Amino acid sequence: MNRRSFVKAAAAGYPLALPAAALAAPAVTGTNLTTRIVRLNLQHTWTTTMSSSQYRDTLHVSYARDGITGHGEGAPIVRYHEDAEGARKAVESVRGLLLSSDPMQFAKIMSLVFKQVPGNWAGKAAIDIALMDWVGQKLGIPLYSYFGLDAGDTPLTTFSIGIDTPEITRQKTREAADFPILKVKVGLATDEPTIEAVRSVTDKPLRVDANEGWKSKEEAVQKINWLEKHGVQFIEQPLPAEMIEETRWVRSRVHIPIIADEACGRASDIPKLKDAFDGVNIKLDKSGGLLEAYRMIQTARALGMRTMLGCMVSSSVTVTAAAHLSPLVDYADLDGNLLIANDPFHGVTVEKGKLVLPKGPGLGLTVA
């Protein structure tokens, strides 16, 4: 039966043996897109050099078609001049494109979205993740399989300790007993008491994130040299993002690796960071989704740099999406979902620090 006679038969109400996929053109009816801002409540007030908050609003996107629903999320943050309502508007601005396109052409769709939507990387990430979740489910394979990866190769993830009083810092460190490596936020005047509070509870390896908090190259060198003596494996973003030359100067005077975070959004940011940083922290909310994050991992590798996957405070949607790429990277800091009290989904889990990917198709999420 060719397409014309198939359509004729359908119109005549004859029983049809062919599946809908046999039609040359994909069905455009029944495709649905929803955008929703979800307030995620934090278990502890979350303080970094940037802000202090008790909740975070993230944008959730669902893309439904052929009886399959793909879920996506992006966490817009003030540091990148983004907010949830702006992210929602950005996604709504490409609603027509998303509803009229064949989702199996996800890379083409995302390149059009990147061209049509300025900024709003978290909103773009929500679209990319929803599409990739849908595609994985359509193909019946988990996303790590789509990318040709082995779920057994996931790295350990750190658990992050936000800036707090020494007493709360000790409490948070004890609560993180199951994690063999901790990430500690510094960059305010309390750096030494914070590290001393953590060290009074544990001798685990630490990774330290200054979140651009130190303001001069001299201060950064002095702090990093102090941290080196306290079992710190590497330091993330010691100086403001634009101080790349100063960071190069710092790197020549310290012995632990320096990882770029705020200085590195997309793959095109990476070449200029070579020699100033040893590696890059890749986050889906900064990159605009999985496809660009994958390009960033390959770009950094090609330049001889280390790779790390990080996250914002977000639900299991974004964190699980990032975890599917984690077999590719050297370091993971994928704990954003563990910091919240009302995660709407179950996805990736952590066992003794190791990321455990769900086996279901796509992201493998289940509703909490």
List contacts with Mg ion (CB under 5 A).
Answer: 209, 236, 261
Q: What angle do CA 125, 317, 42 make, to 5 degrees?
A: 105
Closest by CA position to 131, among listed 66, 61, 74, 67: 61
Closest-by-Cβ residue to Mg ion is 261
CB of 162 to Mg ion, least distance (A): 12
Residue placing its CB nearer to Mg ion in the complex, 164 or 261: 261
Cα–Cα dist 235/255, whole Å: 10
DSSP structure string for 141-182: SBHHHHTT--GGG--BB-EEE-S--HHHHHHHHHHTTT-SSE
Residue placing its CB nearer to Mg ion in the complex, 82 or 261: 261
Residue placing its CB nearer to Mg ion in the complex, 136 or 310: 310
CB of 367 to Mg ion, least distance (A): 30
CB of 212 to Mg ion, least distance (A): 9
CB of 252 to Mg ion, least distance (A): 22
DSSP structure string for 231-255: TEEEEE--S-TT-HHHHHHHHTT-S
Task: Give strand ranges (E) for the chain.
Answer: 32-47, 52-65, 68-74, 159-161, 182-185, 206-209, 232-236, 258-260, 279-282, 306-309, 331-332, 345-346, 349-351, 354-356, 366-367
Q: What residue type is 198 in one-letter code?
A: V
CB of 208 to Mg ion, least distance (A): 10
CB of 68 to Mg ion, least distance (A): 34
Residue placing its CB nearer to Mg ion in the complex, 133 or 236: 236
CB of 232 to Mg ion, least distance (A): 14
Query: Under 8 Å CB-to-CB from 239, ≥6 apart: which residues?
Result: 210, 212, 214, 215, 216, 217, 220, 246, 247, 250
Residue placing its CB nearer to Mg ion in the complex, 164 or 236: 236
Residue placing its CB nearer to Mg ion in the complex, 79 or 301: 79
Q: What residue type is 27 in one-letter code?
A: A
Residue indicated by tokens 């909740």: 55
Residue placing its CB nearer to Mg ion in the complex, 143 or 250: 250
